[in-house]
Structure 1
Amino acid sequence: MKTKKTSGILLLFASAYFLLSFTADDDPLTKFLKSFQQYFTTHTQEKIYLHTDKPYYAVGDQIWFKAYVVDAQNLKSTPNSNILYVDLIDAKDSVQKTLRLPLVAGLGWGNFELKDSIKEGNYRLRAYTTWMRNYDEAFFYDKTFKVGNAWANQLITKATYSFTQEEKSEKINSKINFSNLDGYPYANKEVTYNVVIEGKTITKGKIKTDEKGNIELGFNNTKASFGNSGRINAAIKIGENTTIDKIIPIKSTSNSVDVQFFPEGGNLVQDVRSKVAFKALGADGLGKAIAGYVQDNNGEKLALINTRNLGMGIFSLTPKAGKTYEAVVKFEDGSERNIKLPTVLAEGATLSIMSSQADSITVKVAVNNGFLQQNLNKFFTVVAQNSGNILYTASSKITSLAFSAKLDRSRFISGINQFTLFDENMQPIAERLIFIPPTDTIGLAINTDKTTYTQRSKATLSIKSTGSNGLPVMGAFSIAVVDAGKVNIPNDEEESIFTNLLLTSDIKGYVEKPNYYLSNITESKTIDTDVLMLTQGWRRFNWKNLNVPQKDTFKPEKTLSISGRVTRGKDKPVVDGTVTIFSSGKKPFLVQTKTNALGEFMVDSLYFPDSTRFMVQARNVKDRKFVEIELYNSTFPVVLKNKNQADLTVNINDSMTAYLKNSKSQYEEWLKNGIVNRSILLGEVVVVDKKPEVQETSNLNGSGNADKVLTEKDFGNAFSIEQALQGRIAGLTINDGIAYIRGREAQIIVDGMNMEPESLSDIPIQDVESIEILKSIAYTAIYGGGGAGGVIIINTKRGKPGFVSKVFVPGVVTYQPIGFLKTKEFYVPNYADPKLNASVADLRTTIYWNPNIITDKLGNANVSFYNGDNTGKYRVILEGTDLNGHLARKVINYNVIPKK
């Protein structure tokens, strides 16, 4: 994508109103443009898009994704960052898992495993680089999706809400039905619930379902505010020892609708005709249909109000002196409300754009007589930019009431273009966003080797990529093939590489159904897109930033590193001390370095997988160990409230029944063939007297496989490890700080590392997450002779990424940073292999996933895979980019019929 920088004279329309004498390269403008260029040279920005294999998932699935990290200015692969972070965030805005991915030319891929610890609910994928943390978190990639569960007990909840407004609160009435996947109700079952609004519990209690599996809850929100949301945490007891937990979203606490008006350019100006866009937004974050009219203070009707699309619309108005204006709005429930329009400026200027023409864009600046007289012969400037690319600049003296120019559309870049009108001091006074649909894109063709396939037959797809000039293009792509009968999402609601990198990544607010604006573009959709631009008042770049010095706290992350500071006494730096870093794992390594004059050290250019544990040892110049080590452990960004709250699904399992029934059938097939067993994938089922769950462990037997498991709730009041263990485990005694099991010294293992027996008393209890005691031969055998006296496994709180534990002996700390993800390969069955167990039903919903397709110099690539047993329509989604920042997306379908 080429950067276009222009400075020239506005073209004139032949009209008595227009008189322009634009001049180029005046001093204020030149100075301004230098500041602009310097800002974007120093503050380059990045965008991220994740292509996932599916729009939603079930417990037991894998989320496969490819990351495209690009320079925001030209959409080429980022030159800054070599490391990407991807978070899996739950409905409580808590990070469940963070992946760290290496980037090569801005590309990376990975997967999240939705294990049985994952519960049904709404989740988010958030992705960012360390460099992006210098800017607003709104720039992070953030996607909301749902995860259902048909693997355990098949609980389906259906919740509906109704609202009433009381004097000082909102009354919410909720009806919730509990049934299994086949629709049979859970009748006369006890449900424990608590209701949380904006993070605070407002009510809780117990209730029984009726004979139809229903409960009804009514509660008041006394701190009512538009856009409030929350959740109902419900636990239904379906058996003597079995309870199922559910989180049911409350997307809004009222059915109120907020209506806002947006004059083009920013303000209504007396005697200047302006377009006025409006947006009717429900408390659930979605657009609502309205109708009505605009009237002045004398009751004269001046314009009609009718929504065009998703609660948005537009009308025109010429404000007059001495008049005030309001909208009389009628809502879908039949109610009406009078809403004042924005204040009219007695003196001012407007900026309007006509962008619907096929080959041109018309820019118009209009002022009223008062503004003209106050600013006669003063200069104003119009600047258009896109992501730091200056596309158009022009300056002129104010000599008449209106100024206009017709500009070649080809000079503007795909995506959001920002036009700003500046006064003589280069202060913005009006602004307008327009959207240019993508034109200079990669053309993709996908050809199947057959018109129709049968079950389990081999499919070969031929891919061809070409530029806008028709010549072959080398590009990097990702492809997903899914069973469209089980994985279905309306076209308008899809996210794509185009909707993300060209539209939603450049505006802060929520965009409902973004693909509506970029698929099957019509004249009507073009108008709707322009209305969207008029109602989205925020953009990636604010002109005020040019005059505000900004220090980049976070540097671009190129490699993995470990750094810190060594001190002694009262924070005195240890100069020229020796720091030794050991790693555990299959490929251990040792690195040594020296501290500088500030006692600091750093080892970079590291490459280690996730779950690697380190021991950092420091000694002073005299090789003494009584020093303190402070590791510069990277913090992680806090999780803010979900900006895509409107995308939450209330009735998750009910909304994806076909997918979940297929998932259940696949699980039962695996169970029948011994591929899985009933002890896995329990999801939200809670069984009474179950062993405590250990999230992170170094136990070679696996999590919780021990004779005794203690978690923080068991030793929360203890002052030491010794106190936490004393008297709790039969046969375990502690003498002089050393633990004995049945009279023999126990092996102490902390975070996977063998420690000396006397180190037990050096471990701060507040650093410990869980303790596992191994006494029986069934558990100690795996440790060989070292476990003959029993094993005490201590797991520290490294579940929090980058947790540092200052334990054991002076001058030593343990550390488990997030390493690089060990990338898995998507499994593709080979039905030509006679060794494959063909009796197991193949009900995959993701038939094929490949994140690393590279077209050759002729633009060609081929992929092959085997179809599954499900028949019907299969959908192929191919996305990607080339080295020059051109984007690509192609979707095709093919059919699979029963095998004869």
Structure 2
Amino acid sequence: MKKLKLPLLLVSAMICVVLMAFIKADDDTIKKAAAQLDKWLDNNPQEKVYLQTDKPYYSIGDDIWFKAYVTVGPRHQLSAMSGTLNVDLIAPNDSVARSIKLPLTNGVAAGDFALSDTLQEGNYRIRAYTQWMRNYDLDYFFNKTIWIGNGVTNKVFTQTSYAYSSQNNQPLVTATIIYTDANGAPYANKEVSYRVQLNARNAAKGHGTTDSKGMLKIAFVNNMPNVQKTGRITTDIRLDGKTVTKILPITAASDKIDVQFFPESGNMVNGLPGKVAFKAVGADGLGKTVTGKIVDNNGNQISDISTQHLGMGLFMLTPDAGKTYKAQVKFEDGSEGIYNLPKALDSGYALTITQHENDIFVRISASKDLTGTTQGSVSLVAQSAGAMCYASKTRLENQVSSSKIPKSKFPNGIVQFTLFDAAGNPVNERVIFVNNPDNLKLDVSAPKQTFATREKVNLQITANDPQDKPALSLLSASVIDETKVPSNEDDETTILSTILLSSDIKGYIEKPNYYFAHNDEKTRSDLDLLMLTQGYRRFEWKNILADTYTPIVFKPEQSLTVSGTVHTSNKKPVVKGKVTLFTTAGGTFIIDTLTDDQGHFSFPNLTFKDSIRFVIQARTEKGKKDVDIDLDNTAQQAFTANPNAPDVEVNVDNKILPYLKSNKEYYQEQIRSGTGNHNIVLKEVVIREKKQNKAPNSANLNGAGNADQIITADMFENMGCPTLSQCLQGRLVGVIFQNGRAYSTRSMSSSFRGPVPMGIVLDGMQVDADFLDNLNPHDISSIEVLKSGAYLAIYGSRAGGGLLVITTKRGGEVTYQKYAPGVVTYTPKGYYRARTFYSPQYDDPKVNTALADLRSTIYWNPNIVTDKDGKSTLTYFNAGTKGIYKVIVEGIDADGHIGRKVYRYTVE
């Protein structure tokens, strides 16, 4: 693959000490490691994505506002590599609720999702990635679980709990479901049918009736207990002749707890003391509290053990040759388990690392057989995000060698230490998190701490770099009423926890922001436990040293492109053929190009909105149209299991019930005032009837649906006619069909003397009159008949005999259709145009102050830029409700320093 030489990336590598000039000629291991790292970093620049959302959770009818930051390289600088970001809102059943593309400008973008009030409540997630990121492990995509509740139309609230036992030596799961209304009144004696799915397979189904407390118990067997399972229970409860469906997540199909042990640098070695970390994880993926002891094979107790944080713990052990070790573990419910520790090696190395305030202490230990010989010559390499930060070579004359390294040599974040033996093989690995004070320093201040409702607020934001100099920064800010939207800061997904931590580590991290929301010795110790039990997996040294790289399939997507290949019916490429790209959306747009020696063509650097429809026409060099067009259509990103599945909440509505109640009042106020974009009127949950546009997506210049007659897709559903003209014969007023052409027999315009040939407009492009029967009737969305002068005038002379405006179907996985030799229509995914957050200006006399202002998101601004003094001012008005208002500011400066600041004030 051709190397990607990016100026941004080359500068970023300088954060770590440039070592090549200081490596001695005989330091072959370090020299090779440095060269291979440089090669990997050149060919595999790592992009990361973070999305700041305005709130931690939502209700149907809400808007999700977000700001995207895309960084690249070890210094986390804003990426100039990708120009397009993909963002998906994924529903609880792993289907796409919404998918958008956003143009990236200087590595940032703003977007939003409007949550329809017809959505099902549940656990959604936002996934974001660039095309380039698809070349690597999908675990490094940005993923955030979002709870979306329904306090508006929801009549049935559920409280679900799970209990575990056994039946015929198989795990038996019993779900207890309580059905109530919003006020907690039970739905007693109601019929319920249910279906249970585990890992997308049907596990059980049946019927039941709730008791006097609205309770129903559902039991099912987990016949594959060794497989970590998730799933769902779908229940249908009958209320007043209507059926209400509830989808209840199953986050665990057993109460089994797994305990794993992790010697500090990979292996225990007999005779060498070392740390052994352990982690106890339940079937739901969350850490569990355990206690116990370590015993040897003779039953002698070696050490007590207990978890320190979220199922993680640590103990010291010096294994003896000929002995094995077990952990006798007691769980919170009183049950016990026995687990074997990894077997210790008789010969090997151990790498021990501890951190102090300004220094990192490294101890290398070796078994006696490896000291004082050529085998005792080892090399230590430390890298961060592919950039080498430290390297040293040591000859172990004794069993232990110690050194001290200043923290200043390393960037803030994850650093991987690797020990190589004399043959250059990686034998030990230790990952640490270096917490240097090099984040962006953000400050938020206000002229006072207490404000009135609807009062104007001026907030001063200041951004300084780690050296306290003003920083030119790109920031985003959210102001929410924390009284309505309470949350635990430790559970948040932040720019710090994402860019510095979760984007470099595979696997689920419980309470990621805990490690950044606190700054004390316990938190640092807990973070080191996370490093010992989870670790860095961006690459493996064995693959890097062997030049085994991930194959590059997806190129960086700088802009939108329409491309493809033109060939003859026998697949021979059409060379120097003319290809035209045409659309009438937003005005006429037409460009053309020529095919190359392989018949390939490309229209790069396009910018167009989502759902636009293009017509692409190809001709040979001599103008012949008997050719085929095959478009390059990149497959959509496949679905994978939610990497943050343990964040799934079983009882979403009950978990955020206070917010849902306040949100319902806000929703009702919007309905009364006619604001917002809602489908449902809250009286008895009546669906507001909307006028249906019978010709959606039409390119009719008069406006979609403005025609003398409209034929819609449903007319063709049960028809077996072979051609479109035969399907339409006798169904269009004043139109007949002869030899596949349409003729007007009478008209509302006196200028017509029929029968007169009619023109055909296909998806905005006028095509030949005999083109009609090239269309498949089942591909038609609508046909608009234009015959009157009022509708034809806008088309001018080309509409002399009237027009048939034909619109083809959209959607599904097929984004383009071939209708005739040399012509295809194509609906690529274009850029989403982000909406602007509405913030009422109460000093404007046009604003209706009589309306209740019950907003929970008070202010959202994704486009804050600090000036040369590192300052910016936010101005907005408070809502009409009292409470504690929380301001969250996040962002990044020109040098890749990232920062987050939380500020609160009172509204009375």
TM over 0.5: yes
CA positional deviation for 1:289: 0.3
1:487 corresponding residue in structure 2: 485
1:545 and 1:428 map into 2 onto residues whose CA distance is 11
Larger mean CA deviation between 309-318 and 79-88 belongs to 79-88
1:804 corresponding residue in structure 2: 816
Paired residue type of 2:652: I
1:395 and 1:852 map into 2 onto residues whose CA distance is 48
2:426 corresponding residue in structure 1: 428
Does structure 2 retain, via aligned residues, the 8 Å contact 1:771–1:792? no
Paired residue type of 1:465: A
Does structure 2 retain, via aligned residues, the 8 Å contact 1:177–1:215? yes
Q: 2:902 aligns with which of 891, 897, 900?
A: 891
CA positional deviation for 1:487: 1.3
Relative to the length of structure 1, the TM-score reads 0.89
1:73 aligns with 2:86: no
1:368 corresponding residue in structure 2: 367
CA positional deviation for 1:226: 3.7
1:330 and 1:674 map into 2 onto residues whose CA distance is 60
CA positional deviation for 1:797: 4.1
Distance 1:677 1:37, change over 3 A: closer
Residues 251-305 of structure 1 show CA distances to partners (whole Å, capped at 9, x for unaligned) of: 1111110100000100111111110000000000100000000000110000111
1:658 and 1:437 map into 2 onto residues whose CA distance is 37
Q: 1:844 aligns with which of 827, 852, 855?
A: 855
CA positional deviation for 1:328: 0.2
2:64 corresponding residue in structure 1: 63
Distance 1:328 1:600, change over 3 A: same
Distance 1:281 1:789, change over 3 A: farther
Please state whether the residue corresponding to 2:33 is helix, strand or coil: helix
Unaligned 5+ runs, structure 1: 11-21
Does structure 1 retain, via aligned residues, the 8 Å contact 2:116–2:678? no
Unaligned 5+ runs, structure 2: 1-11, 748-756
Q: 1:828 aligns with which of 816, 828, 839?
A: 839
Does structure 2 retain, via aligned residues, the 8 Å contact 1:387–1:541? no
Paired residue type of 1:660: L
Does structure 1 retain, via aligned residues, the 8 Å contact 2:90–2:125? yes
1:673 and 1:855 map into 2 onto residues whose CA distance is 37
CA positional deviation for 1:186: 3.4
1:572 aligns with 2:565: no
1:763 corresponding residue in structure 2: 775
Larger mean CA deviation between 230-239 and 574-583 belongs to 230-239
Distance 1:781 1:847, change over 3 A: farther
CA positional deviation for 1:596: 0.9
1:845 and 1:501 map into 2 onto residues whose CA distance is 28
Please state whether the residue corresponding to 2:513 is helix, strand or coil: helix
1:528 aligns with 2:526: yes
Does structure 2 retain, via aligned residues, the 8 Å contact 1:692–1:709? no
Paired residue type of 1:475: S
CA positional deviation for 1:525: 1.3
Does structure 1 retain, via aligned residues, the 8 Å contact 2:76–2:897? yes
CA positional deviation for 1:218: 1.4
Residues 375-398 of structure 1 show CA distances to partners (whole Å, capped at 9, x for unaligned) of: 545521110010012111011223
CA positional deviation for 1:63: 1.0
CA positional deviation for 1:372: 3.6
CA positional deviation for 1:367: 1.2
Aligned-CA RMSD value: 3.7
Distance 1:729 1:243, change over 3 A: farther
Q: How does 1:278-289 map to 2 (within 5 A)?
A: 278-289=278-289
Distance 1:274 1:676, change over 3 A: closer
1:477 aligns with 2:475: yes
Please state whether the residue corresponding to 2:663 is helix, strand or coil: helix
Paired residue type of 2:282: G
1:301 and 1:92 map into 2 onto residues whose CA distance is 49
Paired residue type of 2:583: S
Does structure 1 retain, via aligned residues, the 8 Å contact 2:693–2:704? no
Does structure 1 retain, via aligned residues, the 8 Å contact 2:230–2:251? yes
1:95 corresponding residue in structure 2: 96
CA positional deviation for 1:774: 7.9
Larger mean CA deviation between 546-555 and 281-290 belongs to 546-555
1:511 aligns with 2:509: yes
Larger mean CA deviation between 194-203 and 870-879 belongs to 194-203
Paired residue type of 2:326: E
1:855 corresponding residue in structure 2: 866
CA positional deviation for 1:406: 1.2
Distance 1:689 1:55, change over 3 A: closer
CA positional deviation for 1:469: 2.2
CA positional deviation for 1:750: 6.2
2:447 corresponding residue in structure 1: 449
Distance 1:325 1:542, change over 3 A: same
2:877 corresponding residue in structure 1: 866
Residues 390-418 of structure 1 show CA distances to partners (whole Å, capped at 9, x for unaligned) of: 11101122322111111112212111110
Does structure 2 retain, via aligned residues, the 8 Å contact 1:76–1:885? yes
CA positional deviation for 1:739: 9.2
Please state whether the residue corresponding to 2:825 is helix, strand or coil: strand
Please state whether the residue corresponding to 1:506 is helix, strand or coil: coil
CA positional deviation for 1:637: 1.8
1:69 and 1:671 map into 2 onto residues whose CA distance is 38
Residues 857-899 of structure 1 show CA distances to partners (whole Å, capped at 9, x for unaligned) of: 01111011111112110000001111101111110101111xx
1:354 corresponding residue in structure 2: 354
Distance 1:585 1:438, change over 3 A: farther
1:638 and 1:100 map into 2 onto residues whose CA distance is 16
1:468 corresponding residue in structure 2: 466
Q: How does 1:551-566 map to 2 (within 5 A)?
A: 551-566=551-566
Residues 788-817 of structure 1 show CA distances to partners (whole Å, capped at 9, x for unaligned) of: 9998975524344x711112x221111111
Distance 1:784 1:797, change over 3 A: same
Distance 1:585 1:880, change over 3 A: same
Paired residue type of 1:539: R
Does structure 1 retain, via aligned residues, the 8 Å contact 2:375–2:422? no
Larger mean CA deviation between 47-56 and 437-446 belongs to 437-446
Please state whether the residue corresponding to 2:77 is helix, strand or coil: coil
Larger mean CA deviation between 690-699 and 544-553 belongs to 690-699
Q: 1:410 aligns with which of 392, 408, 411?
A: 408
Distance 1:690 1:304, change over 3 A: farther
Residues 43-62 of structure 1 show CA distances to partners (whole Å, capped at 9, x for unaligned) of: 11111111111111111111
Distance 1:743 1:381, change over 3 A: farther
Paired residue type of 1:247: I
Please state whether the residue corresponding to 1:269 is helix, strand or coil: coil
1:224 aligns with 2:216: no
1:282 and 1:32 map into 2 onto residues whose CA distance is 39
Distance 1:9 1:729, change over 3 A: closer
Does structure 1 retain, via aligned residues, the 8 Å contact 2:719–2:727? no
Residues 294-335 of structure 1 show CA distances to partners (whole Å, capped at 9, x for unaligned) of: 000110000111000100000011111111110000011110
1:880 corresponding residue in structure 2: 891
Distance 1:656 1:474, change over 3 A: same
CA positional deviation for 1:667: 1.6
Does structure 2 retain, via aligned residues, the 8 Å contact 1:5–1:392? yes
Distance 1:757 1:195, change over 3 A: farther
Relative to the length of structure 2, the TM-score reads 0.89
CA positional deviation for 1:190: 3.9
1:144 corresponding residue in structure 2: 145
Distance 1:578 1:117, change over 3 A: farther
1:663 and 1:782 map into 2 onto residues whose CA distance is 49
2:711 and 2:76 map into 1 onto residues whose CA distance is 55
Paired residue type of 1:271: G
Does structure 2 retain, via aligned residues, the 8 Å contact 1:707–1:776? no
CA positional deviation for 1:724: 12
Please state whether the residue corresponding to 1:806 is helix, strand or coil: strand
1:755 and 1:873 map into 2 onto residues whose CA distance is 62
Residues 109-146 of structure 1 show CA distances to partners (whole Å, capped at 9, x for unaligned) of: 11111123532111111111111112111221111111
CA positional deviation for 1:155: 3.0
Q: How does 1:355-754 map to 2 (within 5 A)?
A: 355=355, 357-372=356-371, 376-546=374-544, 547=546, 548-675=548-675, 679-680=679-680, 697-698=697-698, 715=717
1:176 corresponding residue in structure 2: 177
Does structure 2 retain, via aligned residues, the 8 Å contact 1:509–1:538? no
2:310 and 2:428 map into 1 onto residues whose CA distance is 26
1:877 and 1:248 map into 2 onto residues whose CA distance is 32
